[in-house]
Each structure stands twice: as C-alpha cells, then as structure tokens.
C-alpha cells in the first residue's frame, strides 16, 4: 500500500508539472490579435517543453521516485513519454504552418535567432530519439550513445528555453519569470547532481573485487566487498550500476542484478554473462581492483509481495535476480512452497545448477524444473520452451495464492505471461524484470 500511495503521488506531481505551463498561457497577459490556433500551438509547445525538462528527473535515479515502480518501468516510461513530448512539440510549428498556409518561416536565412533556436532544439530532440531507437543499427556503442544522448538532451532543452526567451511572450510578468527560472534552475541542479554530487558520494563508498569466479557458459561472478563503509543494503532481486576500471565520474557504468543473498552484508555478488562488448571484458577484471556501486534499484523482489508461495521462471542469465531471492529465502530458513522453472539453450547454460541442487537441503519445499532447448542425449528433464502446456503440468495446486517472478529474454516473458494468464493467474500476481535501456 505504501508503494501504491507513493506511485500515485509521483504520477500526480508529473501531471501537475507537465501542465503547469498552461497557466502561463491562460492566466498571463495575452499578446493582441492572436487566434485560438496560435494559442493552442503555444500551449502545446510549453507542455512539450515541460515534459522534456522532466526527463532529466526521470533518468536521475532518484530512489523516492523510482521505488514505487522500479527503475525499469521508469525508463520504459521515459522512452515512451519522450516520443510523446517530441510529437507535442512538433505540433507547435505545424499548427503555425497550417494557420499561415505558408512555409516561408522555413527560409532560415531571413529568420531571427529565436527561430534558429527552435529549429536546433527540434533537430536535437529528433536526433536523440532516432539514435535511441536505432542505436544498434547505427552501431553506436552504449557509452557513445549515452554521451550523445545526454548532450542532445541538454541542447534540446537549452535552445528551447532560448526560443521562449527570444519570443518574449508569456514571460513579461514577474511570476512568469520566476516560474521559468525555477524550471531552468531545477534542470541545472539535476545535471549537477548526476555528474558531480552523486559521483562524489560514490567516491566515498568504494568496493574491492575480492573474487572473480567462473560460473561456466561464459558467465562470471564478481564478488565486491565494501571498503571503509557498511556495504550495500538491498532487497533480493534488485540491481545496481557498476563502474568497473573507471572512476564514478566516468560515463561507462552498466546495470546488473545482484545475485547474492540480501542478508550477506559483508559482500555483494554480480553474476554477468558475456553478451556484449563490455560484458565480454568481465573475465579480465583483476581481483583487488576497485569498483563503485550505485544502487539498489528495482521493484523486482519477493520482499515486497508476501504470499503463500512463489513461482520463479527464469530464462538463461535471467536466473541472476531469482538466485538472489532463493539465496535470501534460504538464509531466512523459509518453508513456503517454491517452484523454479529454469530454461536454457543447453545444459552448460544452466548457471548455478550445482548450487540450486544444494539449495534443496536448505529450502525443503523447493521444486525445480529444468527446460533445455538442445538437451544432451541422456537428458530426462523437460525440453523445448516454457509454454502453457509445460506451465499447466507444474502449476501449484492453488495458483492464485502464489506470486510469480519472470526474468529472461523479452519474447519468453511475453509468452510466459500469456500462459500464466490462461491458467487463471491474476495479472497483479505476475512480476517481470523488464530492464532495457534502449
């Protein structure tokens, strides 16, 4: 209930701030001789500008804001709402073109600086969205994209504010000037927090890589021990951002789920599979090196959903946050019924297989089902994919009393969620880790 109230509150704040500029249009003095279409275009421009400014807050990883939803949901919302903001802003000049019936304004050689500012802002925002959607097709590395993304966002917001000041309407009154000054100052403050103050705080809380453990299947576990502080307090299943080889001021940081028990405060483990340029380097991390951890984040945790039992469905490296939950439940001595369905391409990809088998000694009501797409000849477990038939065969007796946690490739999550819904599992009992930056 607490997280629900918090989520409702922050949604209300977002809507209020997004629509706040409308008061500038409706309550302030109006320039003479302006028709409805012109006022509508101005209103849309202001709303879009406010939405762009709010994106800095959505991506700043403020824990009070992300806690009710999970950062994966926040970032998904950020992607969708950024496109909506762009379309709203684009409607601003399109309505003016429609009203005038002329494209003369596109002759930039004769236009004042305020028009140039608007064009630059719009182009920056369009490029930002395009490079995010087609990052892989454009072969942009994550680090280059992230630097470009932040730079374009600053350009888009800065030139948009320059356009508003250049036009001069709706900023004549003192209260209007105060409003826009506060919004601009808030955006600058968020940038300083992200690039200066947060890295300084992380610098004071370093971790040492005490162990690099080969888990097989091109997967490694990094054990991080706190140096000079009490360590990371997190809920089982959450994730954090790691800065390896670099200072906390570096642009290169990546999100990974914790795989260790939440009760083991003297260390925190991250289990990482080599799936890209950065993760392929994990095997080369040296023991004794320093890393910085920004977290925890995420709402994908059994701690928040008390239930008579739990069902965990993992695909490949998606076992990582689920392993954290299982280890934590084992440390608690939990006796509730637990079902783990773990799917992988081949046996070597069943990360933690040996430890999961040993967990049966500590979790007396743990049932495990392994599913292999390419099983060995002597395999007697499930084969193929996790579909509705497989789920029906292994569902608990009272499925509505359980909470369900899914983590794996996106197509698998979609299919498994539909399969669970088809066997009468309430949608509110299904929790999926949807973390994906681009």
Q: Please identify, in words, the CATH class of the domain defined by 306-432.
A: alpha beta
Q: Please identify, in words, the CATH class of the domain defined by 2-201.
A: mainly alpha
Cβ-contact 402, 311 below 8 angstroms: yes
Q: What is the pLDDT along the chain (438 residues), one digit of tens a residue?
A: 677 788 888 888 888 888 887 776 666 666 666 677 777 888 888 888 888 888 888 888 888 888 888 888 888 888 889 899 999 999 988 888 787 766 666 677 777 888 889 899 999 999 999 998 898 888 888 878 888 988 998 899 889 888 888 877 777 777 777 777 787 888 888 888 988 899 999 999 999 999 999 888 888 999 999 998 998 999 999 999 998 866 788 777 888 999 999 999 899 999 998 877 676 778 788 889 999 999 899 889 999 999 999 999 999 899 999 999 999 999 999 999 999 999 999 998 899 999 999 999 999 999 999 999 998 988 988 999 888 889 989 888 888 899 999 999 888 999 999 999 988 899 999 999 865 544
Diameter over CA atoms, the chain: 84
Q: Look up the CATH architecture of domain 207-297.
A: Beta Barrel (2.40)
Comma-separated ranges of CATH 3.40.50.80 domains in the chain: 306-432
Q: List residues bridging with 222 in a β-sheet.
A: 212, 270
Find all residues with CB under 8 Å of 74, minimum gap 6, and list them.
58, 59, 65, 66
Q: The tokens of 256 are what?
A: 């990974």
Comma-separated ranges of CATH 1.20.120 domains in the chain: 2-201
Cβ-contact 31, 82 below 8 angstroms: no
Q: The tokens of 392 are what?
A: 């029906």
């Amino acid at each position: 209930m607490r997280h629900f109230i918090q989520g409702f509150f922050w949604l209300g704040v977002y809507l209020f701030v997004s629509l706040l500029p409308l008061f500038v249009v409706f309550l302030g003095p109006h320039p003479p001789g302006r028709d409805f279409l012109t006022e509508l275009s101005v209103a849309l421009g202001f709303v879009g500008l406010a939405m762009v400014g709010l994106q800095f807050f959505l991506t700043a990883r403020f824990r009070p804001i992300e806690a009710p939803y999970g950062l994966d949901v926040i970032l998904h919302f950020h992607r969708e709402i950024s496109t909506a903001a762009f379309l709203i802003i684009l409607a601003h000049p399109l309505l003016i073109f429609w009203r005038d019936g002329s494209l003369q304004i596109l002759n930039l050689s004769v236009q004042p600086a305020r028009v140039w500012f608007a064009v630059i802002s719009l182009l920056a925002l369009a490029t930002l969205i395009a490079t995010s959607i087609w990052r892989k097709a454009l072969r942009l590395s994550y680090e280059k994209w992230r630097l470009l993304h932040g730079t374009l966002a600053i350009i888009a917001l800065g030139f948009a504010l320059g356009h508003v000041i250049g036009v001069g309407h709706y900023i004549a009154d003192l209260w209007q000037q105060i409003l826009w000054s506060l919004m601009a100052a808030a955006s600058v403050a968020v940038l300083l927090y992200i690039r200066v103050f947060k890295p300084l705080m992380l610098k004071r809380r370093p971790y040492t890589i005490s162990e690099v453990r080969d888990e097989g299947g091109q997967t490694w576990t990094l054990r991080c021990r706190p140096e000079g502080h009490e360590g990371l307090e997190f809920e089982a299943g959450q994730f954090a951002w790691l800065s390896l080889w670099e200072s906390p001021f570096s642009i290169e940081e990546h999100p990974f789920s914790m795989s260790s028990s939440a009760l083991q405060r003297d260390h925190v483990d991250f289990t990482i599979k080599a799936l890209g340029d950065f993760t392929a380097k994990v095997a080369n991390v040296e023991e004794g090196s320093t890393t910085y951890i920004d977290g925890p984040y995420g709402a994908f945790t059994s701690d928040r959903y008390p239930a008579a039992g739990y069902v965990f469905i993992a695909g490949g490296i998606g076992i990582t946050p689920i392993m954290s939950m299982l280890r934590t439940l084992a440390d608690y001595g939990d006796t509730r019924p637990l079902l783990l369905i773990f799917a992988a391409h081949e046996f070597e990809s069943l990360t933690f297989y040996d430890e999961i088998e040993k967990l049966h000694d500590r979790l007396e009501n743990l049932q495990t089902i392994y599913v292999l797409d390419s099983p060995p000849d002597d395999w007697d477990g499930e084969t193929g994919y996790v579909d509705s038939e497989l789920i029906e065969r292994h569902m608990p007796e009272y499925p509505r009393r359980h909470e369900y946690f899914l983590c794996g490739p996106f197509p698998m999550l979609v299919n498994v969620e539909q399969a669970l819904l088809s066997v009468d599992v309430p949608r509110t009992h299904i929790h999926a880790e949807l973390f994906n930056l681009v």
